[in-house]
Amino acid sequence: MSRSRESEIERLKCSIKETEDVTKEKLPSGDYPRVLLLGQTGSGKTTLLYSLLDSDLFCMKMDGVIVLRPLNDELYGKIGHTTDAQTRVPNIVRKGPVVICDCPGFSDTEDWRKIVNAYAIEQLLVPPCKIRILIVLQVDDTGAARSEKAKELFDSVCLMFPDKEELKSSTALIVTQIGRDEDRSSCLGKLRTGTWRNCLLDYFLDNEKGKKKVFEFPIVPKDMVGKKYDIFEDKTELVRFIENGATMENPKHKLVFDGEAKNLVKDLCISFKREIESTLKKLVTEVSKLHRDEKQLESIQKWKGMLQELRKSCNGLAEFCACAETQLTSFSALSRILADVKSFATKVMFVSSLEKGLSEEDVKEISLDLEEVVGLRLDAQLEELKRKEESLSSAKEKKSDKKSRDGEGILDVICSMNEERTRTQMEMFKMINENNRANTQLMLEVMRERNAQAERQQMAATASEAVKAIGGLITSQQGN
């Protein structure tokens, strides 16, 4: 790739980054259906946006042309009244239950701008999303002189969304700057020239449901200059479609470019591929640093489980990025890299959409080999963790065996000590019992001796009393 080409690619990537940042900032969170205003540059998309958001529009004359202007035309994006694009990034505004997205025009002649515009629309189609389409067509583009622009618009929308039935059910058309004496069906019918046909145009012209979804945004009459614009009679019905119409949920879509734009897209995809490869390699390297010095078996097993989940997700980049966010989000050291990984979502979808318009050879050149970039590196880390796990498990088992053997020896000693203690205690009990028996015998003998002595004393006392009694009796008889 030449240096000038690389410079062009870098400018393109800067514009894409700006578009991505603005879109992320403005796109509200929540499950709001998104209404995409799609049309050529200068078709009146931004003016229509102001009207849908209930901003007062005033009829003015500028450079000899009657135009509509809000009091503050910087509120939802600058309004242009020429074929020079004023909307470079989507104007995204929430209105009640929906988000209205004023998309960049389809008619840029610069290839790099076409790609940026396509990327802007791609941002709005990142899942989860519910999409309604409002095609904005200026009535002058239905005339013979400019009909090619209208046909290009219809073809581009149909190529973008391949499910035609889903597209028709969720798409409406508004014809801007149409005069009071002009008929919308007649104007659209002018586009049916030669062999050109378009399923959406046929739907709006021939299908009763389609006819009800064609609206008018009338041109400013000369007699309204200086006054408030109040002749948008279809606004109520249009708002009903915007808020309640059918939607395409996470629609399949593709982007198709031709000529030099196609080559530029290919080079952009190659640049994206290198950027993604570099970031993924850095992520895997940083992950390796985090678990490289782990010495705890539990931590190693935890890392092994996380890396196995990452390895399983290597079937596709989107799947891997989602898995990396889930498994690694708790590591602050990886926060910056994970933020870069998260930003891949839109780029991956963008490249995927572009692949449908590229040759097989080009697709092969821009495709990322996730197996080589991530898979093999994770395999090496898993093998290293496995060796660590086996080594630590073996050491743990040996330590456990040693403890077990040491425990058995200690148990033997304890058992021996317990047996000795038991024998000693038995001998002590025996001695105590013998002593107790001897003491008991001695006490019994003492008690018997004391009882015998008491009996002898009692007998002696009784004998003494008897002697005294007899002696007294004898003395009494002698006195008589």
Length of the chain, in residues: 480
Partnered with residue 215 across adjacent β-strands are 174
Contacts of 315 (CB under 8 A, 6+ apart): 370
pTM of this structure: 0.70
pLDDT tops 70 at residue 77:
no
Residue spans in the chain of domains classed CATH 3.40.50.300: 3-253
Closest CA to 341 of 320, 366, 372: 320
Partnered with residue 94 across adjacent β-strands are 99
Contacts of 144 (CB under 8 A, 6+ apart): 190, 193
Q: Using CA atoms, how far apart are residues 379 and 78, in angstroms rounded to an integer?
A: 54
145 to 139, 140, 190, 191: CA distances (angstroms): 12, 9, 11, 11
Closest CA to 345 of 197, 125, 181, 136: 125
Q: Which contiguous run of DSSP H or E holds residue 131?
A: strand 130-138
36: number of CA atoms within 13 Å, CB side? 29
Q: Using CA atoms, how far apart are residues 189 and 205, in angstroms rounded to an integer?
A: 7
- What is the average pLDDT across 263-281? 86
Instruction: For residue range 86-135, list pLDDT tens digits in order.
Output: 456 788 999 999 999 998 877 666 788 888 888 888 889 988 899 999 99
Exposure letters 370-380 (e unless 16+ CB within 10 A, then b): beebbbebbee
Q: Which range (164-178, 207-221, 263-277, 338-352) has the least confidence? A: 338-352
- What is the average pLDDT across 438-446? 73
pLDDT at 407: 60
- The C-alpha angle with vertex 335 and arms to 333 and 336, in degrees rounded to 5, equals 100
Q: Using CA atoms, how far apart are residues 67 and 219, in angstroms rounded to an integer?
A: 9
pLDDT tops 70 at residue 414:
no
pLDDT at 346: 67
CB atoms within 10 A of CB 92: 21
Packing angle of the helix pair 335-342, 317-328 (nearest 10 deg): 150
Number of H helices, E strands in the chain: 17, 9
Q: Which contiguous run of DSSP H or E holds residue 132?
A: strand 130-138
93 phi, psi to nearest 5 deg: -140, 135
pLDDT band at 342 (very low <50, low <70, confident <90, very high): confident
Q: Using CA atoms, how far apart are residues 451 and 447, in angstroms rounded to an integer?
A: 6
Q: Which contiguous run of DSSP H or E holds residue 302?
A: helix 297-312
- What is the average pLDDT across 352-362? 68
CB atoms within 10 A of CB 398: 10
- What is the average pLDDT across 197-215? 94
Q: Using CA atoms, how far apart are residues 50 and 102, in angstroms rounded to an integer?
A: 10
Q: 199 near 284, Cβ under 8 Å?
A: no
Q: Using CA atoms, how far apart are residues 197 and 211, in angstroms rounded to an integer?
A: 17
pLDDT band at 291 (very low <50, low <70, confident <90, very high): very high
397 to 394, 401, 402, 454: CA distances (angstroms): 5, 6, 9, 82
pLDDT at 84: 44
Q: Which range (278-292, 326-340, 432-446, 456-470) has the least confidence? A: 432-446
pLDDT at 382: 94
Exposure letters 117-137 (e unless 16+ CB within 10 A, then b): bbbbbbbbbbeebbbbbbbbb
Architecture field, domain 3-253? 3-Layer(aba) Sandwich (3.40)
pLDDT at 140: 93
pLDDT tops 80 at residue 344:
no
Q: Which contiguous run of DSSP H or E holds residue 324?
A: helix 317-328
3-state secondary structure 339-363: HHHHCHHHHHHHHHHHHCCCCHHHH
pLDDT band at 81 (very low <50, low <70, confident <90, very high): very low
